[in-house]
Structure 1
Amino acid sequence: MASLMTLPRELRDQICKEVILSPLTEPPELGLSFDAILDGRRSYQEPKTAAWSSPYAVRYQPSAIVASVTPLLLVNHQLYAETMDNLRTMPQTRTCDLDLIVLDEMFLCPTWIRVPVLTNNVDRVNVKFRIAGFLHQDHSGHEEREISRYSGFRGGFDAVPTVMAWQIYDVLDRFLTVGPVGARTNAEADRSVVLKTLDIDIQTPPNVEEERFSEPGWGQEEVPGFYVLDPNYLARFVYTQVEGMMGMHADSPDCGKIFYEFMNEVVVSKDGQVVGVFDVASYLQGLEYSVGLSISTPSGKTKAVFDEWKKNTIKKRRERGLKVLAEA
């Protein structure tokens, strides 16, 4: 590092910026075995999220997550000052990249690929959904055998969202609470992350014949044969789940809060082609109280409670620098 400090300032700045924007790791290979993809991954019980299902089936990367900028800040006072100067002129530092593998239709395996800095105000999170494996494999020798009996996309009872829907929500809720970190050791360190744009891209698995793509199977005995989850289905699924949560539907009324209180925009794409865009401020403006099944209140059952929540949410959005429509 001493040799770095002898370089001209312009070169040091260039190196500093490349380090800050460099990936933490490469995305896991999709061709790995079920065991290899899950190897060393762990689930987190804290912080508690509003997801109804257990976070057990969400398995985070085994390595510790350290923001790319952190080592630069720890070298010496001069490099610390220069790094802080560079951060002020680099808008990309508030963009994070997340790889999210849907494994055998059951597990979600998040891997943070790029985290330039840890901040409470994030401009964009780019989420790449990738599909690995298939449901009909022999998991009898694994501790996961009970959860692996059925697809995570199996329909819930009485219109309750599927397990996979709750797992996706769990990943998002956790990020907005603590950021892109590993185990939470101190509840007082919770961040309440404001996220301007959530950009979700569902990617078609490489080297898979199109005729092998299929909608998910419900139980291992019910759908014979070898197939791979259809990325078109996954794109529709993700879009529908976001739409449902933002609609404050009766089966998951509180889930919409994370969008309305912390985000500006959600973009859902497939292989880079936009499927749909959710302008959160517009959705909030049009959100109305209803006793029916289509829309419920964020908490409680009265219009007064709903109106108070909406008023407070608009206030929070203004305080957090989020978009608020003039008429709202």
Structure 2
Amino acid sequence: MPSFMTLPREIRDQICTCSILLSDTPPDTTRPSKELIEKRVQPATPSLEAWSKVVLYLPKPPNTCTTSLLQTNKQLYAETLATLDRLAANPPDYALDLIILDESLLLPTWTSVPVITNRVDTVHVSFRISGAYENRKKHRKLGSYQGFRGGDGAGPAMGWQLYAVLERFIKAGARGETGSPNTHMHVTAKCIRIDVQTPLVFGVERFGEWPSDVSGRRKSEGGNHVLEPDYLVAFVLSHLNGLLGGLDYEWFKYGQILFEHVDLIVVCKDGVEETRLDVATMLKELGDISDRRSYLEQFGNYKEDTMRLRKERGLKVLDE
């Protein structure tokens, strides 16, 4: 019976260097919208707090290529598990490709997941823009509240769609679906690195004009303008600051997922860093939450409790 050490060197190297990738190649953004969303689904579980969940995932969760090794024999099974334990002991990096399709839908694809774990070092998220906004009815069957159009006092749906991607990752990890609505894996990340990429297939003349602020974008139907990458950077930063700024409880209660699970968020454009948000520092500097609906009692000892929780999860903590 073969053991780990009698396997060919290239196979041993693949296992020991985290090359047990369980992921897909990034989709080609020049493909028609219909092809890009074909076979993608909206996972039913876990339950999410995001107001818009119009995010389409690949139907099959990642599977490691260690499955065959685990099924070979008892010795190889034990050695493979030991190797996976060592990999999990050192938080790995993940990579997520996130297509913003027709300014309406989000299509996430995990492109690198060395090992399934609830402790991740860095999540590299590439934002890629595909297609142009046509009309509000194009993808309506997937949900009426989507894209950069504002809702009933809820702001642009895209902010919530991006939040839904974050929430699903922290609650379910790279697998995306848990089978139970109440499952919460509490996945932590030392860093979430967002890179907004300028689409190379369009000339700058295709980029639409910026709105007066980042609270909304589309004022009319139709047109062939492509989402402006600089606007997308500003949009993402605005929503992250809203979640972490503690300006009022309505936003703060959604920002708690970051305070409790993330150390650092870096936002880049075409690989060049624009801003970094140190979550531990923002937690330390968090002041009183404005009492819009008498939520101050619920705020209570949140900072103290969360600092203790962060220590337990191996996250950065700045003492008061």
**Shorter-normalised TM range:** 0.7 to 0.9
Q: Output the CA distance in 1 between the equivalents of 2:90 and 2:31.
A: 32
Pair 1:324-2:317 in alignment? yes
Q: 1:76 to 1:291 in 2, by over 3 A?
A: same
The corresponding residue for 1:285 is 284
1:20-31 equivalent positions in 2, closer than 5 A: 20-22=19-21, 24-31=23-30
* 1:84-136 deviation digits (Å, cap 9, x = unpaired): 45442688762111111111111111111111111111111111111111111
Q: Output the CA distance in 2 between the equivalents of 1:320 and 1:92.
A: 14
Aligned residue among 71, 75, 78 for 2:72: 75
Aligned residue among 162, 182, 192 for 2:186: 192
The corresponding residue for 1:218 is 218
Pair 1:116-2:114 in alignment? yes
Aligned residue among 122, 133, 136 for 1:135: 133
Q: Output the CA distance in 1 between the equivalents of 2:95 and 2:165.
A: 14
1:1-328 equivalent positions in 2, closer than 5 A: 6-7=6-7, 10-17=9-16, 20-22=19-21, 24-53=23-52, 55=53, 57-87=54-84, 88=86, 94-136=92-134, 144=141, 147=144, 152-158=147-153, 160-186=154-180, 190-214=184-208, 215=210, 218=218, 222=220, 224-250=222-248, 251-291=250-290, 301-302=295-296, 304-326=297-319, 328=320
Q: Output the CA distance in 1 between the equivalents of 2:140 and 2:282.
A: 42
Structure 1 residue 271: deviation in Å? 0.7
Structure 1 residue 161: deviation in Å? 3.3
Structure 1 residue 305: deviation in Å? 3.6
Structure 1 residue 80: deviation in Å? 3.4
Give unpaired runs (5+ residues) of structure 1.
none
- Residue 166 of structure 1 aligns to a residue whose secondary structure is helix
Q: Output the CA distance in 2 between the equivalents of 1:287 and 1:138.
A: 38
Higher helix residue share: 1
- Residue 263 of structure 2 aligns to a residue whose secondary structure is strand
Give unpaired runs (5+ residues) of structure 2.
212-216
Identity across aligned pairs (percent)?
37
C-alpha RMSD over aligned residues:
3.0
Q: Output the CA distance in 2 between the equivalents of 1:33 and 1:244.
A: 34
Q: 1:254 to 1:167 in 2, by over 3 A?
A: same
- Matched residue type, 1:60: Y
Q: 1:315 to 1:145 in 2, by over 3 A?
A: closer
Q: 1:12 to 1:145 in 2, by over 3 A?
A: closer
Q: Output the CA distance in 1 between the equivalents of 2:55 and 2:143.
A: 15
- Matched residue type, 2:106: L
* 1:215-246 deviation digits (Å, cap 9, x = unpaired): 48525xx2553111011111111111111111
Structure 1 residue 188: deviation in Å? 7.2
Q: Output the CA distance in 1 between the equivalents of 2:310 and 2:73.
A: 38
Structure 1 residue 5: deviation in Å? 7.1
Instruction: Name whichever of 18-27 and 257-266 sits farther off.
Output: 18-27
Contact 1:93 1:116 in 2 (8 A): no
Contact 2:47 2:182 in 1 (8 A): no
